[in-house]
Structure 1
Amino acid sequence: MDEMTELRELRADAPVPDRAALAPGRKRLTDAIGGGGRRSYRLRTDWRIASLGAVAAVTAGALLFTQVLDVPAPRPSAPATVTGDLDLTSPAAALGRAADFLDRQEAPPEPRSDQWIYLREKNPEQEEGWAEVPAEVRERMDMGGYSPDSWVPYDDKAAENDASDTDYRTARESYRIAAGLPEEPRALLAKLREVFPSGDGEYGEREDEAEHSFRALYVLLQSYPLPPAAMARIYRAMATVEGVGVTDHLIRDASGRQVIAVTRAYDRNTRREILIDPVDYGYAGERDVVTRTHEAPRPEGLTPRVLKRGDILMNVARTRAAVVDAKGQKP
């Protein structure tokens, strides 16, 4: 059996991912083949990008289905003055409170062009999936192992000048896009739909306006850093998107923290959750949750997998983000 066959069989029951999820994986695979070094930290959390070959090994843990129990508010470790003010009765209430808080924060200086963005993320399914990739396969394909840490340059001019992936924006581009967003929610959403264009149907169904707006918002929110005032505008606009909800209690993320979950249906069987820290209202991660028990399609000859309501298909927690002076440096 060759290594491609081994990799295909690692997760043969993987569901078909959407265009937004596939795009960064396609680009990283193309860059790897061509020897390029570009890497999108902003979209790396959406690891359902599994395409055959090297990316399949990198994302081998994507379908180790787990269940995470939701827990009631408030978050014990958070200051009482913050958790006591949480209002999770509606998206407008929760995101409006977050926006008001961020509007009062002083913006730090924009990172210098020679600095790096450090991110640490907890992704237990991906970590377990890496452990299941046979060592000989990794050796043959010259791949390392799973690491929760990543570094990307803040100023990456080569990536900025590469227009082949419309879903990718560098850290500097994202910062400046966010800083220049209009105040009015409809105008802000229109601008983001322009910045992150919708697909042509090749990799899934076309997005409607609300779906497109939500995707553009969460793609930008994964960037770091973003000016606090810009995040406030983003949250207010998010609350106006059709179909957006918020859980009426804090939930536990992959690292065990209690976080706010802003939700929207991903398809008829799942919802996407953007996770927000209830103390500083920063981006804290994301989950995909099964909302309807159903059979997931699998390749011909394999028994369909039953996914139950509450199963977690993606569960990523961002536990640290910082601007540092060099690659490999940790705050």
Structure 2
Amino acid sequence: MDEMTKVRELRSQAPRPDAIRLAAGRRQLTEAAEGGVRARRLNTPHLRLGWRLAAVGAAATVTAAAVLSAQLVDGGEGVRTAPVAAMSQSYAVALGSPAETLRDAAATAERAKDPRPHDGQWVFTETSRVNATDGERPGLVDHSSWSRYDNPSMEGGKAGDDHSPREIYRFLNSLPEDPAKVRAKARAFYPKADGETRAQHDFRALTLLTDAYPAPPKGRAAVFRAMAGIPGLKADSVKDILGRDAIALSLGDKAQGDLRGQYLYNPRTWVSSGSRHIAVTDNPGGEGGPEDHWKAGDVIISEAQESRVLVDDKGDTGR
């Protein structure tokens, strides 16, 4: 066994730091961000962020391109980090083609344990976010929430394209094996946004489904296989704002708006772990002063999903 493999094994067995141990580091990040400049808010009306890690939408999704067949190597996309945000910088590691990577993801997802949720439960979620456009709340911002698993007000089309965890779980359980049919059902479940191409619509709908929790393993596997057929996919190996390894999926190199979305996954389990939104054009500065600027490639908004767990009561954290 080589040394790096042993290190990874030891790290995977380490206990999760508690809030007290994490506080000092987070305080340093906040203090560092507060010493930066106030950034203007992006004029991106279609940007949708939340615990579901919703896609950027038509104004910040990406123009479809040909399927990438080359492997990502050093010298590929260099994603920088906005100075105001104190985010972790990404790095490039050789991966298989996006289609191969997603087929591996499907095989991994299929081996996961079914959480077997039941009515009356809640989904407890913890996230951390850095938003370089939010001068009022600089630095790392923590958030926790409870979502009712069986929420009738979010089922049967009552909430538009929002769905309760129960409705999404049942939808995933009903998916066929054929990838083209999965993509068609996903598009119907999450209707098309204005200006979206077919590839953009597929990517948005399927990434939302990969973020579902709780989720049946067979359904998640079907979604990853369906994603493998989207033209223009790109897979990058990155670090999230908590310093964790992640595989970032995106659609091509160019966006229609200010930002390009990347959706992050744990490279070992392929559980959704966050999202990043990257500037596609330079911002030379605005009303905030000469420091109010960033360059194309800077990570502007980043969210890390720390944990999600099924609990029996609202207010329960599962600990």
Normalising by structure 1, we get a TM-score of 0.67
Are the counterparts in 1 of residues 190 and 205 from structure 2 also a CA contact under 8 Å?
yes
1:267 matched residue in structure 2: 255
> Per the alignment, do residues 184 and 296 of structure 1 end up closer, same or farther by CA in structure 2, a change over 3 Å counting?
farther
1:310 aligns with 2:274: no
- Bigger drift between 259-268 and 188-197 goes to 259-268
Matches for 1:206-285 after TM superposition, within 5 Å: 206-247=195-236, 250-265=237-252, 267-268=255-256, 270-285=259-274
1:96 aligns with 2:103: yes
2:310 matched residue in structure 1: 323
1:16 aligns with 2:44: yes
Are the counterparts in 2 of residues 13 and 297 from structure 1 also a CA contact under 8 Å?
no
> Runs of at least 4 residues of structure 1 off by over 4 A?
43-46, 63-67, 126-130, 296-299, 301-306
What's the CA shift for 1:306? 4.3
Matches for 1:65-104 after TM superposition, within 5 Å: 68-71=88-91, 88-104=95-111
1:191 matched residue in structure 2: 185
Letter in 2 for 1:16: T
Matches for 1:109-258 after TM superposition, within 5 Å: 109=116, 111-125=117-131, 131=137, 147-160=142-155, 163=158, 165-199=159-193, 201=194, 206-247=195-236, 250-258=237-245
Distance 2:305 2:293 in 1: 29
1:27 matched residue in structure 2: none
Are the counterparts in 2 of residues 295 and 304 from structure 1 also a CA contact under 8 Å?
no
**Percent of aligned positions with the same letter in both sequences?**
29
Are the counterparts in 1 of residues 87 and 130 from structure 2 also a CA contact under 8 Å?
no
Are the counterparts in 2 of residues 171 and 224 from structure 1 also a CA contact under 8 Å?
yes
Distance 1:127 1:117 in 2: 29
What's the CA shift for 1:72? 5.1
Structure 1 gaps of 5+ residues are: 1-9, 25-39, 50-62, 74-86, 133-145
What's the CA shift for 1:304? 11
Normalising by structure 2, we get a TM-score of 0.69
Matches for 1:37-76 after TM superposition, within 5 Å: 41-43=51-53, 68-71=88-91
> Per the alignment, do residues 129 and 11 of structure 1 end up closer, same or farther by CA in structure 2, a change over 3 Å counting?
closer
Are the counterparts in 1 of residues 39 and 132 from structure 2 also a CA contact under 8 Å?
no
Letter in 2 for 1:309: A
Count of residue pairs brought into register by the alignment: 254
Are the counterparts in 1 of residues 250 and 261 from structure 2 also a CA contact under 8 Å?
yes
What's the CA shift for 1:308? 0.9
Letter in 1 for 2:282: H
Are the counterparts in 2 of residues 102 and 229 from structure 1 also a CA contact under 8 Å?
yes
What's the CA shift for 1:296? 7.6
Aligned-CA RMSD value: 3.4
By percentage of residues, which structure has more helix?
Answer: 1
Structure 2 gaps of 5+ residues are: 1-37, 60-82
